[in-house]
């Protein structure tokens, strides 16, 4: 690849193309797409005005700690969060139209996630996890959730998701936390670990066993909209994402009204698995944002760093690394946008592929009624898991190449490339490990086979990149879908 080809590569061209391709199929008008771009532009203004990329280096250094039971974050980090969430009321766009929102779903969440993560992934986590709670309240809507949704829209609430426990990570059904109905309230008890935003955010989802007469009868998920009875035991020291609180939190006789249950009594975890996949899209777009930054900073460095009296980009082996990155980034976007689109269509009750009727509620529902619910769900899972697995694994390989281009500086913490490589290490772990998504893909493949007109993603790319070849060796299931 020539120097010109690197310089002429428009890193955001694919994004525009994919939004234009998919947004109309979700019923969004040209004006609504324009609104999305306005939001992205406002976010970029806030992020640049606050010099978030530079500040993120300090945040990474200072990190987060617990003082007198409170989670303490850098002041200017909180200021940026407030500006996005309170002053600009970011979550209001994600409320359904009949609750005065704009009905934004995962396709637009992806773009917004990428925009913020491109400045700092930890900031994206702090801001966007709230949408997991909003997603749960919207997907399993009950009138008593309306007030909380409006408070999210007004920026009065920040979200967390408290599922993981010391002995229950990938296998969440092994949780020990309990919920017991006493009168009209559930009493919640248990200790959760690794909770992003835990102890800082005021509104969460809590997963617990459903205890009836001392026996377990399935699992429940609750909306917990206050901090009373919740203690932050510690925040973890991590190899990356230092300013994102990853907390151990204890729930001691926390009471919530029985109406705060999400979906059905005793069926919480299954319902969560079935529908709440938005943050997997968020992680895919963290990966896309990081991959683009890795490419940009490595390209700049390779053009300016000289060895043997020439810029290191003149060495074919360095150019090869950059060209593999450049070739792979649009593929990450193809998978990410396709997954978000498919999930949004599934959430609308439509067929989660482009086999539907083009974003028209009546005909879409009619078309979807011909396909069993399990098959529709399976297809959505297939796209979401393949995108999350592909992006999170590959961005780690890219992080290795990008840091290598920086030589010794790639190992020095103050360089953005070093921070990016450390931060993305967790992408293949949270929101379902790569191994778990590999297993989901095996199951979902059967669902995919049942719609013969289903357009396969791998038709798009006839060849493979070096990153994909490594991925196939490690996760053979992915080879079937690329």
Ligand X SMILES: Cc1cc2nc3c(=O)[nH]c(=O)nc-3n(C[C@H](O)[C@H](O)[C@H](O)COP(=O)(O)OP(=O)(O)OC[C@H]3O[C@@H](n4cnc5c(N)ncnc54)[C@H](O)[C@@H]3O)c2cc1C
Binding residues vs ligand X (CB under 6 A): 161-164, 169-170, 194-196, 238, 241, 246, 426, 429-430, 433, 435-436, 439
Cβ closer to ligand X: 126 or 138? 126
Cβ closer to ligand X: 359 or 432? 432
Question: CA 207, CA 162: separation in Å to the nearest integer?
Answer: 7
CB of 92 to ligand X, least distance (A): 23
Cβ closer to ligand X: 101 or 198? 198
Strands (E) located in 141-184? 159-162, 178-182
CB of 37 to ligand X, least distance (A): 30
Classify burial at 169, counting beta carbons within 10 Å of its beta carbon; exposed 0-12, middle 13-18, buried 19 or more: middle
Report the length, in residues, of the chain.
482
341 close to 22: Cβ distance less than 8 angstroms: yes
Cβ closer to ligand X: 160 or 186? 160
94 close to 150: Cβ distance less than 8 angstroms: no
Within 8 A by CB and 6+ apart from 25, the residues are 341, 345, 354, 356, 358, 359
CB of 405 to ligand X, least distance (A): 26
Half-sphere CA count of 455, side-chain side, radius 13 A:
13
CB of 28 to ligand X, least distance (A): 29
CB of 173 to ligand X, least distance (A): 12
Neighbours of 302 (CB within 10 A): 22
What is the crossing angle of helices 373-405 and 278-304, to 10°? 20
Nearest to 359 by CA among 107, 110, 113, 138: 107
Cβ closer to ligand X: 40 or 254? 254
What one-character-per-residue DSSP string does 311-368 give?
EGGGSHHHHHHHHHHHHHHHHHHHHHHHHHHHHHHHHHTS-SSTTS-SS-HHHHHHHH
CB of 39 to ligand X, least distance (A): 24
Cβ closer to ligand X: 348 or 422? 422
Cβ closer to ligand X: 353 or 418? 418
CB of 424 to ligand X, least distance (A): 11
283 close to 125: Cβ distance less than 8 angstroms: no
- Region of 163 (left: φ > 0; alpha: ψ -120 to 50; beta: rest) is alpha
Nearest to 467 by CA among 389, 406, 408: 389
Q: Which 3-state string (H, E, C) describes 123-152?
A: HHHHHHCHHHHHHHHHHCCCHHHHHHHHHH
Within 8 A by CB and 6+ apart from 211, the residues are 178, 179, 180, 217
DSSP 171: -
Cβ closer to ligand X: 263 or 375? 263
CB of 360 to ligand X, least distance (A): 37
CB of 425 to ligand X, least distance (A): 9
CB of 242 to ligand X, least distance (A): 10
Instruction: Identify any residues that bridge with 190 across adjacent strands, giving them in sequence order.
Output: 251
Give the distance from CA 235 to its chain's centroid: 21
CB of 388 to ligand X, least distance (A): 12
Q: Which residue number places its CB atom closest to ligand X?
A: 169
CB of 195 to ligand X, least distance (A): 5
Cβ closer to ligand X: 105 or 159? 159
CB of 397 to ligand X, least distance (A): 17
Cβ closer to ligand X: 33 or 439? 439
Cβ closer to ligand X: 241 or 329? 241
Cβ closer to ligand X: 222 or 430? 430
Cβ closer to ligand X: 118 or 246? 246
Nearest to 232 by CA among 206, 198, 255, 204: 198
Within 8 A by CB and 6+ apart from 32, the residues are 23, 102
């Amino acid at each position: 690849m020539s120097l010109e080809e690197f310089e002429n590569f428009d890193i955001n061209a694919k994004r525009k193309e994919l939004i234009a391709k998919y947004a109309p199929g979700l019923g969004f008008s040209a004006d609504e797409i324009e609104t999305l771009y306005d939001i992205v532009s406002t976010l970029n203004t806030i992020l640049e005005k606050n010099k978030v990329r530079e500040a993120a280096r300090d945040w990474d250094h200072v990190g987060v700690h617990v003082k007198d039971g409170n989670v303490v974050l850098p002041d200017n980090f909180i200021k940026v969060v407030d500006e996005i969430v309170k002053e600009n009321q970011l979550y209001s766009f994600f409320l359904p139209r009949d609750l005065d929102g704009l009905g934004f779903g995962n396709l637009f969440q992806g773009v917004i996630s990428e925009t913020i993560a491109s400045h700092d992934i930890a900031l994206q986590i702090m801001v966007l996890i709230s949408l997991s709670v909003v997603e749960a309240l919207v997907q399993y809507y009950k009138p008593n959730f309306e007030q909380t949704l409006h408070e999210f829209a007004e920026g009065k609430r920040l979200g967390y998701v408290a599922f993981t426990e010391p002995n229950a990570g990938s296998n969440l059904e092994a949780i020990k936390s309990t919920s017991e109905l006493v009168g009209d309230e559930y009493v919640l008890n248990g200790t959760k670990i690794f909770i992003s935003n835990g102890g800082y955010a005021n509104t969460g989802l809590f997963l617990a066993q459903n205890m009836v007469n001392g026996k377990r009868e399935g699992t429940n998920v609750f909306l917990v909209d206050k901090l009373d009875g919740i203690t932050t035991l510690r925040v973890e020291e991590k190899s990356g994402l230092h300013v994102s609180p990853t907390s151990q939190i204890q729930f001691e006789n926390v009471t919530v009204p029985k109406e705060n249950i999400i979906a059905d009594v005793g069926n919480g975890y299954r319902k969560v698995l079935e529908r709440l996949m938005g943050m997997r899209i968020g992680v895919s777009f963290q990966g896309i944002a990081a991959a683009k930054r890795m490419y940009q900073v490595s390209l700049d460095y390779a053009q300016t760093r000289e060895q043997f009296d020439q810029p290191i980009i003149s060495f074919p082996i360095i150019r090869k690394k950059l060209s593999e990155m450049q070739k792979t980034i649009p593929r990450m976007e193809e998978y990410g946008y396709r997954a978000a689109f498919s999930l949004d269509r599934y959430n609308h009750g439509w067929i989660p592929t482009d086999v539907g009727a083009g974003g028209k509620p009546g005909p879409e529902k009619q078309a979807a009624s011909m396909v069993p619910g399990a098959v529709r769900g399976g297809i959505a899972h297939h796209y979401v898991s393949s995108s999350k697995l592909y992006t999170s694994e590959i961005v780690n390989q890219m992080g290795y190449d990008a840091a290598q281009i920086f030589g010794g500086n790639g190992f020095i913490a103050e360089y953005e490339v070093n921070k990016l490589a450390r931060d993305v290490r967790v992408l293949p772990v949270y929101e379902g490990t790569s191994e778990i998504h590999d297993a989901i893909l095996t199951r979902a493949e059967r669902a995919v086979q049942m719609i013969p007109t289903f357009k396969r993603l791998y038709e798009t790319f006839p060849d493979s990149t070096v990153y994909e070849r490594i991925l196939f060796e490690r996760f053979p299931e992915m080879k079937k879908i690329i």
